[in-house]
Amino acid sequence: MNKEQSGVLRAWEATIRKTQAAKKRANSIFGTMSLTNAGDEEGEDDNDKSVSISGEAYFAEKVLANGDYYTGQWYDNLPNGQGKYLWTDGCMYLGEWHRGKTMGRGRFSWPSGAAYEGEFKSGYMDGTGAYTGSNGDTYKGKWVMNLKHGHGIKNYSNGDCYDGEWRRGLQEGQGKYQWKNGDHYIGELKNGVICGKGTFVWGNGNKYDGYWDDGMPKGNGTYQWADGSFYVGNWSKDPDEQNGTYYPSESSLAADLEWDPKDVYQELGNSKICPGERVSIMPSQKKLAIWYSTKGGDKPRRMSVDGRVSVGIERPFDKMNMWESDGDNNELGGDQVRRDLDCELLGVNPHDDTNPKFNLALPLKAPKPGKRQGETISKGHKNYELMLNLQLGIRHSVGRPAPATSLDLKASAFDPKEKIWTRFPPEGSKYTPPHQSSEFKWKDYCPVVFRTLRKLFKVDPADYMISICGNDALRELSSPGKSGSFFYLTDDDRYMIKTMKKNEVKVLLRMLSAYYNHVRSFENTLVIKYYGLHCVKLTGPTQKKVRFIIMGNLLRSEYTIHRRFDLKGSSLGRITEKPESEMDDTTILKDLDLNFVFKLQKAWFQEFCRQIDKDCEFLEQERTMDYSLLVGLHFRDISTHGELIPCGRRSGNSDSTESCPRLNRSDTDQLLLDPQRWASIRLGGNMPAQVERTIRKPELELQLVGEPTGECYEVVMFFGIIDILQDYDITKKLEHAYKSIHYDPTSISAVDPKQYSKRFRDFIFKVFAEDSSS
């Protein structure tokens, strides 16, 4: 034995002697096995019973830092090969591992007594396996991602039995269900309920053969008695739809005139398919307390058995690309089945060759023109009086004489208590004109600040009043926003008016001073511009208060906005439910609908990156989140057939907007140095740019950014940051906690402002790029 081997042996013997106490304690829990203590984080090598010199797999027994226990093959600081892992809550897995994942054949048992024995893939019950529930239910058959999927036989503890096809954990397809009382059904099922065509046979020999819906006969069917008599007709629970003919058999003496088809529905009321047992936690949700590194200073990090670092309990369908963590996918098999199932559960279609998001061969088309947004608020509209009150109040606030103010405002101007109440009686007063509406009170919040903001944003008071209070009525958007707020547009589309909740008003007043300083310091800020904050209080028994914010309409343009995107950088629920055929140019698309990368010329891109950083820092400091970047695109070249024409393919057979701005590289580089040219083109408004088409891989529909194709289109862009008034309050914190349990925490919108700001910036800098073309 050489000197090195002797030293290793002595170190191993010292480890064994040092952990005798841990062995005795563990034996009382795990049986008579030799253990080593892994609770000491100093020098992980001391935790192993065997030491690998050449990096090969070796046998190890570990009591991990959180009390979990593992014994078996160990490689590269992960379970690899045959091994047994026991969690402190009593769950246990015994079987094959591959790089820290349950992979191959194994047995997983729950403390309740339930157990699964069969095939595992990437931490999931996947393949062929048998499950025995704590209540006595048993299932033998096919599994996909913890769900029964394929052919399987289930015996229920109440004596029922099902032999047939399963889909997503429920009986679906052809199968036979046998009840304990002798009744049985053979035919089609859907979502765990008898549905389709099938035959139900009662224990007394009677049977129904026909069509079913939701567990009951529906449609054409035949009921036959054991003596050969039968009834044929159309079946329905509705007596008006039920009709048919009774045919007695030769052996029957007379027709059963007392029989009613409704008796069949009563008999079937007791023949329900057993729902089965619910599993409290899936194997893929269990975590491993392991080390990522063999350095002594590293602390243990928890890892789920499908190989992901855990930040909370994850459900089986959190991510589309969870299978691609190593290079062994081809060896596992069934990846496509898992992806198909995953996409189906998430409500997306991974193989939609008719969708240009996935099929590069399909040309992009301009959406059909939509109707003008909003319903004109005319007399008789439920909000007609409210609109009149708003217009009267705005005319009073803007037209009221006020001394000239400097841009340097006093701190008292931002005081939330700085507000002016004005009463508007129908007959008029010394300060207000007579009107046809009911009496109301009007409140101006921080009037000096908003008057100065309008001055800062170069808004002419007369034009402002004409837009909002002119002869043309406001337009109410067809439905309220997700927050419950209503939106109104001025007739010239210049301003948008939004109703606000009280907490939103508080947030704006709290951050008003910082907002004012920010927009004053950064002329090119992308943050939405606010022009006024008001409240209408209706008199009378209701005493209803309606709060308004007046802001700029980012997408107002003389050009048609063909595509609109609302981008947050999150994926959960960030897809438009409308099919492509129902979309028009007013449809607002979301992150998972995005199929472009926006390419800005060098000087603009650099300014854009600087401004996004500044704006996000401001919003992060004000502890707001859930904001988004609203992007509008006008495509310059569209064929007469409505197809978008890529750069370099333009012909005479196209509808081109010749007046759209075009800038070459040198023009753009000099633009920042020439203030006179900012009037028509500015950051986020009327910007000439290109967009590069991207394609999403079918198996990665939930990827936020698709793969660039090199196919570019000339556009005019408009964009800005909207919805900045969502405080990270207790409601959002609870939403974050709840959704983190059910979904991947990185995919949800409700996260801490610092995390939200970082994720937002990271995403925006992926979908915006510098245009490197000439």
- The secondary structure of 217-270, three-state, reads EEEEEEEECCCCCEEEEEECCCCCCCEEEEECCCCCCCCCCCCCCHHHHHHHCC
Task: Report which of 566, 661, 608 is spatially closest to residue 769, judged by C-alpha positions.
Answer: 608
Check: CB of residue 419 under 8 Å from CB of residue 444: yes
Q: At what angle do helices 461-469 and 384-399 cross, to 10 degrees?
A: 170
Question: What's residue 298's pLDDT?
Answer: 39
Q: Which two tokens stand for residue 380?
A: 């008789």
Find the range with the poorest average confidence among 234-238, 563-567, 648-652. 648-652
Question: To which H or E segment does residue 619 belong?
Answer: helix 602-621
Share of the chain above pLDDT 70, in %: 73
pLDDT in tens, 556-574: 888 889 999 999 988 777 8
pLDDT at 107 over 70: yes
Q: Where residue 495 falls among pLDDT bands split at 50, 70, 90?
A: very high
> Burial of 13 by CB count in 10 Å (0-12 exposed, 13-18 middle, 19+ buried)?
exposed
- Around Cβ 771, how many Cβ atoms within 10 Å? 18
Helix, strand or coil, per DSSP, at residue 153: strand
Q: Pick the closest to residue 717 from 651, 643, 654, 635 (CA basis).
A: 635
Whole-angstrom distance, CA of residue 453 vs CA of residue 529: 9
Token output for 417:
């208590």
Per-residue pLDDT, 669: 45
Given this structure, which CATH class describes domain 166-273?
mainly beta
Q: Does residue 761 contact residue 611 with C-beta atoms inside 8 Å?
A: no
Give the model's pLDDT for residue 525.
94
- Cα separation, 489 vs 551, whole angstroms: 10
Q: Say if strands 138-144 and 124-132 run parallel, antiparallel, or are unpaired.
A: antiparallel
Confidence class of residue 528 from pLDDT cuts 50, 70 and 90? very high
pLDDT of residue 746: 63
Predicted local confidence at residue 648, as pLDDT: 67
Q: Over 90: is that where the pLDDT of 17 sits?
A: no
Please report the pLDDT score of residue 507 as a whole number. 92
3-state secondary structure at position 112: coil
pLDDT for the residue numbered 747: 63
> Residue 70 pLDDT more than 90?
no
**Which range, of 32-36, 227-231, 259-263, 651-655, averages the lowest pLDDT?**
32-36
What 3-state DSSP class applies to 10? helix
> Alpha-carbon distance 116 to 357, whole Å?
40
3-state SS string for 21-45: HHHHHHHHHHCCCCCCECCCCCCHH
pLDDT at res. 192: 85
Average pLDDT over residues 547-558: 90
Which CATH number fits the domain 370-558, given the four candidates 3.30.930.10, 3.40.190.10, 3.40.50.720, 3.30.800.10? 3.30.800.10
Q: Which residue stretches of 19-128 are H helix?
A: 20-30
Residue with the larger pLDDT of the pair 116 and 438: 116
Backbone angles phi, psi at 745, to 5 degrees: -60, -25
| 342/346 Cα distance (integer angstroms) | 6
pLDDT tens per residue across span 186-224? 999 888 888 888 999 888 888 888 888 888 888 888 888
The pLDDT, as a whole number, for residue 361 is 64
Give the CA count within 13 Å in the CB-facing half-sphere of 609: 14
The band of 398, judged by pLDDT with boundaries at 50, 70 and 90, is confident
- Long-range CB pairs of 503-507, under 8 A, 24+ apart, other chains included: 503/727, 503/729, 504/547, 504/549, 504/725, 504/726, 505/445, 505/533, 505/535, 505/547, 506/416, 507/624, 507/725, 507/726, 507/727
The token duo for 748 is 């949800």
> pTM for the full model?
0.54
Least confident interval from 289-293, 597-601, 705-709: 289-293
Q: Would you say residue 513 has pLDDT above 90?
A: yes
How high is the mean pLDDT of the chain? Answer: 76
Question: Which of 122-136, 582-596, 604-618 tops mean pLDDT?
Answer: 604-618
Rounded Cα–Cα distance for residues 334 and 337 (Å): 5
Per-residue tokens: 64: 């991990």
560-774 folds as 3.30.810
Residue 292: the pLDDT is 38
- Identify the weakest region by mean pLDDT among 394-408, 451-465, 490-504, 717-731: 394-408
The DSSP call for residue 683 is T
What is the per-residue pLDDT for 483? 61
Which amino acid belongs to residue 415? Answer: D
The per-residue pLDDT for 575 is 84
Same fold, 166-273 and 560-774: no
pLDDT of 614 higher than 90:
yes
Selection from 5-19, 33-47, 164-178 with the highest mean pLDDT:
164-178
Ramachandran region, residue 623 (left: φ > 0; alpha: ψ -120 to 50; beta: rest): left
Give 261's pLDDT tier (boundaries 50, 70, 90).
confident
DSSP class of residue 427 equals T
Tokens representing residue 440 in the block = 């109301």
**Of 20-29, 242-251, 325-334, 508-517, highest mean pLDDT:** 508-517
Mean per-residue pLDDT for 645-661?
57
Q: Do the beta carbons of residue 724 and residue 627 sit within 8 Å?
A: yes
Q: What average pLDDT does this structure show over 473-486?
A: 70
Res 702 pLDDT > 60: no
Query: What pLDDT, on the 0 to 100 scale, is given for residue 139?
Result: 92
Q: Which long-range contacts (CB under 8 A, 24 or more apart) does 51-56 make?
A: 51/8, 51/11, 51/12, 53/8
- pLDDT on residue 231: 83
According to DSSP H, which parts of 307-402 are helical? 329-332, 335-346, 384-399
| Average pLDDT, integer, range 690-701 | 75
pLDDT at 342 over 60: no
Look at 307 and 440; give whichever has higher pLDDT: 440
**Domain boundaries along the sequence of the chain:** 1-158+280-347, 166-273, 370-558, 560-774
* pLDDT bucket at 157, cuts 50 / 70 / 90: confident
The pLDDT of residue 47 is 44
Weakest mean pLDDT among 159-168, 334-343, 381-390: 334-343
